[in-house]
Structure 1
C-alpha cells in the first residue's frame, strides 16, 4: 500500500472554510450591520440637503429623465420605474409613497413635487394608483439640484455599478429645516418640523455674517415651526428648548372662532398631521357618549379653499365650556421635536445653530467646487479665444498655412510649429469656418474674451477670499427667499390651556417688593391705606438679617411687566407669576422667576398695558447717560432676558420712563440737581446702544432718577430724599435747558435730608408709595406734600427709625383709585398754601 496522504475531497475543502463563532456575537454584529443600514440608507435625512436616500433618488431620476418644472407631467409609474430600476432597489410602493408625500401641500411646507391627480388628502385618503397620477418637479425642487452637473457634490456607484448617483444634493436652501422630516430607524427616530423659508434664510445669513452668534440670536429670526396646515403654537418655551437642545414637545392648537351670537364654533385650521375625518368622527362619538355636552350638530364643510368644520351649539349651551371640552380632547396635539439627522454618515441630535452650521459648511463646499469647475471651463475657453484672436491677427498667413497642408493633422501640426499655437488652439482653428473671419465675428470674439477674463477674475477672487465666497452664498439664499418666500401660516398664542391659572386670580392692583438678596413677593395694594405725610407706615416685608429692600412698584395682577435691572437687562413677567404673600412674609427667591446674575437688581418696572407702539422707553444711568428706544424693539423678550442698553464699566441703569416723543425730561441727581430738556434732543436708538450724556454731573454726584413731564397731565415735580423728606415744585420752576448741562438746584441735600432717592412727575389724585430699606411701607396722597420752590429743604414725608432710610418710591396714578379715598381729597384746590413756599427749611 502507498504511504502517501490521499488528496482532500470536496467535502474537506468546504470544511476548511468553516470558522467557529459564538452565536450571540454573530447575531450582535449582524443586527448592528442591519441597524446601520436602516439608519444611513433609509430612515434618516442628511443634514446637508434634508433628504433621505429615496427622496434624493426620486429627484435625481426625474432630473436625469428631464422631468423638470418646465416639462410636461409624467406618469408616476414611469418615475417610480426609473427610480427603482436605476437607483433605489426597493419596492415600488415605498417609492410611490415617498413621491406622493413630496407632492402633498398639507405634508410639506414647500412641496418639491408638482402632482397632477389624487395624491391623498388631509382626511387620510391614500393616493390614487400610480398609473393614474402624474408628476414633475416643482420649481423649488430645482433649487435642490441646481449646479449638480458642475462637480459640486460627490457621486457614488448605484446598486448594480451601472450608473452613478449623488451622495447628497447641492441644496440651495436649508431643506432639512424648511420642509422638516420624520422617520423611524432602529433604536432612534427623527421628527423635524417644517419652517418658514424666509425665516430660515434670515437665520442662515445671520450665522454666516456672525459665526459667534448664539441659538438665541438665531431665534430672533426663526420664530418657531411653520406648519403647512397653519394652526397655532401654544407658548414659546417648548420651542426655545427644542432649538437649544434639539428635543422638545410643542403644543399645537387648531384655529377656531367662537360665535356666541350665532351659537356655533367654526374650526378653520388643524394641527399638523391631524386626520380631519377622524377628528370629526371622534367628536361625534364623544357627543353621542355624553363626554361632550351642548352640541346639537356637527358638519364638515371643507372644500378646496380650506378647512371648515362647523360645531352647532344647543340654545342653552355655554360656548366657552364647549370650547374648553373640545380643546381638552380634540383640538390640540403635541408635536415631539427630535432634530436627529446624519452628520458625516452618523446620526446626531442637533440644535438650531449646529443644524445651520452643517448646512453652511456644505454650501461653502458646493460653491467652492462649482467655482473651481467653472474656473477650469472659463480658463479653457479663454485659452481658445486667445488662439482665435491670435489667428485673426495673422489671418492670411494662417489660412495659407492651412491651405498648403495635406490634411487636418498636417495643418494642426503646421500651426503649432509656425505660430506657436497649443494643440487645443490649433485644433479649434483648423475646425473654424470661413464665416468666422468677418469683422463682426472678430468683435464678438473680443467681447466674449473680455467677459470671460472678467469672470475668471471674479472666480479667482471668490476662491481666494472666504468673505467673497460667503457673499455668494448669501446672495443666492436671498434670491431663493425672494422667489419662494411667503408669510408665516402658524401663529403663536399664549399658553392658556382650557382653565388657566390666570382665570383663578382676581384682577387687582398689587404692590411688589424685592430685596437686595433677591426675595420677591406681591401684596394687594389696598392693604396699605393712605396716611397723612410724616407717618411711619406699616411693615411691608420681613427681611433676613443684613438684607435690605431694593425696589417697590405698583402693578396690575394680570399685567405683563417689563423689568429693567441695574445691569441693563430687560425681562418680561406676568405680575401674577410673582407669589402673593402677607405683609410679614419674606417672599420667594427671585431666581425661581427671573434669571438674574449676581449683583443684578431690579431698578425699574413698566407695565405693558400702559404702552402703545408709537411710544418710547427712556432710560437713564447712574453716570448721566440717557437713551431712548422704541417700544417695538422689546416685543420678543426671551425668558433669560435681553439687553436693553450697553453700559460703561462701573455704570448702572437707574430709572426708566415711558415717553411719546413730545414730553420733557427731568433728570434728578443724588446731590439735588435737576435738568429739564425736550426729549427730542435724544434721538431714538437701538437696544444695544449706550446712549448720550443727559446731565453733566459734578464730581462724586450720581443720577437718582428721571421724570417724564406731560404739561397737559402733570402739575408738579416731586422729589424725595433718603432721610424721608420731600417736596412738590411747580413745573415752571424747572426752565428748559439743553441736554448735558449741569441743571439747577432742585432740593437741598445732605444733613437733615440726605441724598435724593427719586424724582417723579405727579398730578392731583396721585399717591406716593414709599418704602424704607428696613421694610416699612407708607402710602400718601401727593397733595399731602407741600408745594415749595426749588432750592428748599422740603417737608417730612415718611418718619424713619434710626439707621433706616427711604430705599425706593413709586407713583400710583390717580386712575387706579377711581373713588378710593375720594372724600379725603380736598377737590382740586389743594396747593400746599398751608406752608410758606419761600421757606428754605420747610415744615418738619
Structure 2
C-alpha cells in the first residue's frame, strides 16, 4: 500500500471519529421532556383534583365568575376573556369548559342558548349567551378567608390553589378526561343521594352510591364496582308501547343524543336487524321519539331488538382517577365521598375558627371602646403634645379597667381608639354598647359550641343544603336489573333460507330451490343428512353440506325442548336402532355422526319436535322365511331422551324395509313452570317472582290492560309487559272474563261476560269513547261485586247492592255491549269473594287396545 493511500485512510478514520464524538444521545432528554409533558397534561388539564372536584380550567372559570360577580349576568365572552388572565390557553377551550359546567345546571345560572344535552345541539357563540353564579355555587364553592392562593402563570395575579368546596361536587357533576398514559371517567351522581351518603358517613353508617344521569333512562348497576376500573354500567332508553304499531322513546341513555340514537336505529334497519316503517323526532324540552312499525311486526320483539342492535342500550365503563397530593390516584366513588365529606368538615372548622377570631376581635375593641369613652380617657390626651405621649396616656388610662379582657392591649388597639370621632363619643350610649358586647358574647359561645360539636354542625350544614337546594333534584335514572338479550332471538329474519336436498346445498341465494324458513344473517343453521351426519353452520349465500339433506332449521343454542326422533340402520347390513336426543351446543362447522359411524349407515326415520312430541310409527321388515312378525308399531314415548352421541335402543336385527308414520304424539316433556318477576317485568323459569302455572306447548297467557285491551300470548321469555297491565295469568279458554266498565258515550255502567273467541289477536272489550273507563275485571268462575251508591242530597243513602255476575248476565260475545248495571249513580265498586265452584276434571284418555310388537324383536 502506498504512503499517500494510507494517509487518506487515516484521514477518513479521524473524520468518522469526530462525527461520532459530535453525536449526542437524546434518550435522557426525550425521557425528561415526555415526563414533563405527561405530568402537565395529567395535573393541569385532564384530571380533576379531589379537594374541590375541578380541573384547572374549571377552577379558573369559577374564580373569574366570583371576581366578576355583582348579582347580574355577564356575557360569557367577557368571562372567557377574564379567565384568560389565569389560564394559558385559547378562548375556545375555556368557552367549551364553561358550557359543560353550565349544562350541568348546578353552579352557574345560565341565560340564552346553552345547547341541549338531549339533542346534542351546541351552545350559541360566547357573545350571545350570559351567565352568573348560582346561589348554590356562591354558598358551597367560595370562602376567601380560608383559601390558599398562588401566583398565576405570568405572576401578575393570584389564583386559588384549590377552591374550598364544601360539597361532593366531583361526584355530582362527574368528570371525564384523557391524559398521557391514563384517563378518568367519573359518572355523575344524584344531588340528594350524595348529601344523604355524606350524612350517613358522618354518622358512621354504611352507604351505597350509584350514578344518576341527566338524560334519565334505565340503568343496571350490578357490575358498577364502586366506579373502579373494571366496573360497568348498562344504560337503556325508556321505550314504551304507544299502540300496536308505535313505540315511544321518552328517555335516552347517558352519552347518547337523540340524533345519534336515531342514526343507530336507521342503520340497524338498513342492515335488516330490525324492521321499522319510519321515525319521528318530536324532542323539545323532553325526549319524544316515535318509532312506527309495519303491520305484523311484534312491538315486544322490536323493543328487545332496539336494545340488542342500537344505541338504545349502551355500556359505560367508569374509571375513578383523581389528583391527590399532585399525583394521580385510582379510588372508588365511596372513598371519594368520604374524602370530600371529611374535607368539608375541615373547611367548616376553618371557617368557624376564622369567625371566632373575628367575633373575639370585635368583642375586644367594643370593650375597649366602652372603657375609653365611659371612663373619659380621651381627656387624658388633651395636654399631650407628642404622638408617643398620646399613646402612653391612653395606655395608662386603660390599665385599671382591662383585667377582664381576653388578650393584652397592643398599640394597634390604642391607635384605633384615637380614630373614634367626637360625634360618636358625644352620642355614645352605654346600654347599646353593652347590648352589642352581650350579642357578641352569645355569638362567640355559639361558635365555640359548633366547634365542640363539629360533626353535628356539619350534618346540619348538609341537611340545610338539601332543604334549600334539593327541590327538583330527585333521581332521574331508574335502577333495574336487566336480562341479557340474545341477539339471535330478537333479530328480524328478513332473509329466506333455501335447500337443495339432493345436491346438498343450503343458503339464502338458492331461490329456485325449496324454501325452508325465514332467517337472519346472524343465525346458525342445523342440518341433518340421510347418512346420519349433523352439522351447524353460519347462514351464507350458498354452503355445501352433503347430499341427501333430510332436515334443515335455524339452530337455537341451549334449546332443550326441541327433541329429535330418529331410527337408523347401523352399517350396510347391521341392525336398526331408535334414539331420541336434543342438541344444545356444538362446535360450528364440525361434522357430528349420529350413528355409530359404520360405512353404509342410513337414517330410516327422522323428525324434529319443538316441544318434545313423540309420534307412533310402523316398522316394516323385509320378508324373510325365518321372520314371522313383519310389521309392528313403535311409540317414541317409550324411548328415553339422551345425548346426541347415544347409541339408542335396538329396533330389529333384521333388515327394515321402511318406517311409516302412524299418528302424531303428544309432548313427553314435563310442563314448564313459569314465573313473572314484577321487578324486571319479565317471565322466567328461575323461580323469581309470582308463579303463573305449568305450561305445555299449546298453553297461553291471558293479558288484560287498563285501557280495556285483552289478548292471549305464547309465554316467551322475551315478552315485554306494559305498566298498565292489570291481569296476567294462565289462560283457561272455557273460563269467562267478567268486566264492569263506564261507557263514556251513554254515561252508564255496564257489566259483560265473555270468552275469548280469537286467540290470535288483541281485542278492545270496552267502547273507544275517550271517557270510557274500565272499572273492574275478574276471571273468577262465579264472581260477586258490591256496588256502593252516591248519597242523594236530602235523602237517606241507598243500601249497597250485591251482584252475582253469573246470574246477572249470561256469557256473550266479546264485542257485546253487556247489560246496564244500575241506573243510580255509583260511588265505588268492590269485588267480593267469589262463590264456590268446582272445576271439572278432564276426562281420562282411552288407552289404545292395539297390541304392539316387541321393540327388541
TM-score for both structures, normalised by structure 2: 0.53
Aligned match of 1:283 = 265
Describe the superposition over 1:25-47 as per-residue Cα deviations: whole angstroms up to 9, x where unpaired.
22122211211111111100111
Aligned length: 489
Answer yes or no: is the 8 Å Cα contact 1:246–1:340 preserved in 2: no
Which residue of 293, 316, 322 maps to 1:313? 293
The 1-side partners of 2:172 and 2:334 are apart by 14
Question: Given that residues 388 and 425 in structure 1 are in contact (C-alpha distance below 8 angstroms), is that contact kept between their aligned partners in structure 2?
Answer: no
Q: In 2, distance between residues paired with 1:457 and 1:177?
A: 35
Hey, what does 1:24 align to over in structure 2?
27
Distance (whole Å) between structure 1 residues aligned to residue 125 and residue 416 of structure 2:
53
Separation in 2 of the partners of 1:404 and 1:494? 89
Q: Which moved more, 1:113-122 or 1:72-81?
A: 113-122
Query: Displacement of 1:410 after TM fit?
Result: 4.7
Match of 2:303, SS?
Answer: helix
Change (3 A) 1:284 1:557: closer
Stretches of structure 1 lacking an aligned partner (at least 5 in a row): 1-17, 507-554, 563-572, 579-605, 611-816, 825-844
Alignment pair present for 1:62 and 2:31: no
Q: 2:89 aligned with 1:90, yes or no? A: yes
Matched, 1:356 2:329: no
Counterpart Cα distance in 1 of 2:91 and 2:77: 9
Aligned counterpart, 1:640: none
Distance 1:247 1:340, change over 3 A: farther
Query: How far apart in 2 are the matches of 1:81 and 1:441?
Result: 51
- 8 A contact 1:242–1:249 mirrored in 2: no
CA distance in 1, matches of 2:110, 2:463: 27
Q: Please give the per-residue CA displacement for 1:127-156, whole angstroms capped at 9, x wherever unaligned.
A: 222122221122222234232x122x3221
Match of 1:145 in 2: 141
* Secondary structure of residue in 1 paired with 2:138: helix
DSSP-derived class of the 1:377 partner: helix
For 1:188 and 1:414, the matched residues in 2 are separated by 69
Look up the SS of the partner of 1:194 in the other structure.
Answer: coil
Residue 445 and residue 76 in structure 1: after superposition, are their counterparts in 2 closer, same or farther (change >3 A)? same
Q: Please give the per-residue CA displacement for 1:355-385, whole angstroms capped at 9, x wherever unaligned.
A: 1222123223312322222222222212101
- Equivalent-residue separation in structure 2 for 1:445 and 1:75 (angstroms): 47
Single out whichever of 135-144 and 440-449 deviates more from structure 2.
440-449
Q: Which residue of 2 aligns with 1:629?
A: none
Name the CA distance, whole Å, in 2 between partners of 1:372 and 1:61: 27
Bigger relative contact order, structure 1 or 2 (CA pairs below 8 A, ≥6 apart) = 1
Cα distance in 1 for partners of 2:486, 2:197 equals 36
Q: 202, 221, 242: which is aligned to 2:226?
A: 242
**Is 1:100 equivalent to 2:99 in the alignment?**
yes
CA 1:175 to 1:502, structure 2 compared with 1: closer, same or farther past 3 Å? farther
Matched, 1:453 2:441: yes
CA contact 2:673–2:691 (8 Å) conserved in 1: no
For each residue in 1:805-826, what CA deviation from the matched residue of structure 2 results, as whole angstroms up to 9, or x when unmatched? xxxxxxxxxxxx99698999xx
Q: CA deviation at 1:247?
A: 4.4
1:718 equivalent in structure 2: none
The range that moved more, 249-258 or 373-382, is 373-382
Shift, 1:48, TM fit: 2.1
Report the alpha carbon displacement of residue 426 of structure 1 after superposing the two structures with TM: 2.4
**1:258–1:265 contact (8 Å) kept in structure 2:** yes
**1:483 pairs with 2:458:** no
Deviation by residue 1:474-499 (Cα, 9 ceiling, x = unmatched) = 22111111122221111012312445
Aligned with 2:236 (options 253, 275, 286): 253
What does residue 72 of structure 2 align with? Answer: 72
- By how many angstroms is 1:202 displaced? 1.0
Judged with a 3 Å threshold, the aligned counterparts in structure 2 of structure 1 residues 458 and 557 are, in CA distance, closer, same or farther, namely same
What is the alpha-carbon distance in structure 1 between the residues aligned to residue 423 and residue 22 of structure 2? 76
Q: What's the C-alpha RMSD, in Å, of the aligned pairs?
A: 3.6
Distance 1:502 1:144, change over 3 A: farther
Matched, 1:112 2:93: no
Deviation at residue 609 of structure 1 after TM alignment: 7.6
Matched with 1:624 is none
Q: 1: distance between equivalents of 2:842 and 2:166?
A: 69
CA distance in 1, matches of 2:22, 2:292: 74
Q: Partners of 2:330 and 2:127 in 1: how far apart?
A: 39
Residues 1:332 and 1:422: Cα distance change in structure 2 (over 3 Å):
same
Partner of 1:103, secondary structure, is helix
1:54-113 deviation line (CA, Å, top 9, x unaligned): 00110001101225xxx221111111111112x111111110100111111xxx2x4322
Bigger Rg over Cα: 2
Runs (5+) with no aligned partner, structure 2: 1-20, 400-408, 491-555, 560-671, 693-836, 845-857
For residues 161 and 50 of structure 1, what CA distance do their matches in structure 2 show? 25
How far off its partner does 1:286 sit?
Answer: 3.5
Partner SS state of residue 317, structure 2 = strand
C-alpha change, 1:330 and 1:818, in structure 2 (3 Å) is farther
Distance 1:136 1:577, change over 3 A: same
* Contact 2:69–2:133 (Cα < 8 Å) also in 1: no
CA distance in 2, matches of 1:308, 1:497: 26
Residue 181 of structure 1 corresponds to 175
Residues 455-484 of structure 1: per-residue CA shift (max 9 Å, x gap): 333434454x4xx12222222111111122
Distance in 2, Cα, partners of 1:560 & 1:499: 19
Q: Distance in 2 between matches of 1:246 and 1:46?
A: 18
1:172/1:476 contact within 8 Å kept: no
Alignment of 1:549-568 (within 5 A): 558=675
Q: Please name the residue that 2:214 is paired with.
A: 228
Rounded Cα–Cα distance in structure 2 between residues aligned with 1:404 and 1:432? 18
CA contact (8 A) 2:152 2:158 kept: yes
Q: 1:525 — aligned with what?
A: none
Which stretch shifts more, 447-456 or 474-483?
447-456
Q: Given the superposition, is the C-alpha separation of residues 471 and 500 from structure 1 closer, same or farther in structure 2, using an over 3 Å criterion? A: farther
Report the alpha carbon displacement of residue 288 of structure 1 after superposing the two structures with TM: 4.3
Deviation at 1:433, TM superposition (A): 2.9
- Partner of residue 436, structure 1: 424
**Retained in 1: the 8 A contact 2:236–2:252?**
yes
Cα distance in 1, alignment partners of residues 283 and 432 from structure 2 = 61
Provide Cα deviations, 1:267-291, integer angstroms capped at 9, x if missing partner. 1111112121232233234434544
